A and B are shown apart, each in its own frame.
Chain A
């Protein structure tokens, strides 16, 4: 079965950086885009962007451009999210989420919907 297992909780000071990992299993890692979504305490969901694990191509939400970097290591089927210059309002649970692939007439295509999720990683930014 598909599994996305994230790294543990982090506590960081303002201005620092954090790197969260998402170890995958149960499917072809390079076959589906990986997205990152965050959720501040008691709040809704916010999309940060995606990475194509096959090519390494990335696409970041405008709000996070310049502060976010998504990478992957195909040898260990793991995706990473790094967020720099942390602020207190970056305190949130960060989720990795696999892109839903659908079968078209002759090929599979990505959708920007999220059909499998990691358990979440709480990042707390506090002085």
Chain B
């Protein structure tokens, strides 16, 4: 099973700041990685697929990069609605998710 490790566990930032989230895979997943946002009591929402492609309707402040084992989700300037938990997910070998990064208001 491919293990995805997300860091940091919690990111404390202010609105307007840049957020950089990391996801590391235990073995190469090529570019088969997605990012989701989840708010309390809600289902996850797909943000990015295949490492760097924004899903339909996702604002341009969200961007993804990386390949192989190291991936990054960047939120260029945090809006109030961006404070949430973010998960990465790989589809290279079955499907697994990372443990999540919580982006909280500082």
Contacts and interface: CB of A to CB of B under 8 A. Distances in A.
Contacts of A117: 43-45
Interface residues of B, number: 20
A100 B46 contact: yes
A51 B46 CA distance: 20
A112 to B, nearest CB: 4
A114 B46 contact: yes
Question: In this complex, which of A97, A117, A118, A120 has the most chain B Cβ atoms within 10 angstroms of its Cβ?
Answer: A117
Given A45-B97, A47-B96, A115 B46 contact: yes
A120 B43 CA distance: 7
A111 B91 contact: yes
Contacts of A114: 36, 44, 46, 89
Question: Helix, strand, loop or mixed for chain A's interface?
Answer: strand
A47 B97 contact: yes
A120 B42 CA distance: 8
A117 B50 CA distance: 19
Given A113-B89, A117-B43, A100 B49 contact: yes
Nearest to B97: A45
Interface string A76-119: 00000000000000000001010010000000000111110111
> Which 7 A-B residue pairs are closest in the complex by CB-CB distance?
A117-B43, A112-B91, A47-B95, A45-B97, A113-B49, A113-B34, A44-B99
13 contacts: A45-B44, A45-B89, A47-B94, A47-B95, A62-B94, A100-B55, A111-B49, A111-B50, A111-B91, A112-B91, A113-B46, A113-B89, A115-B46
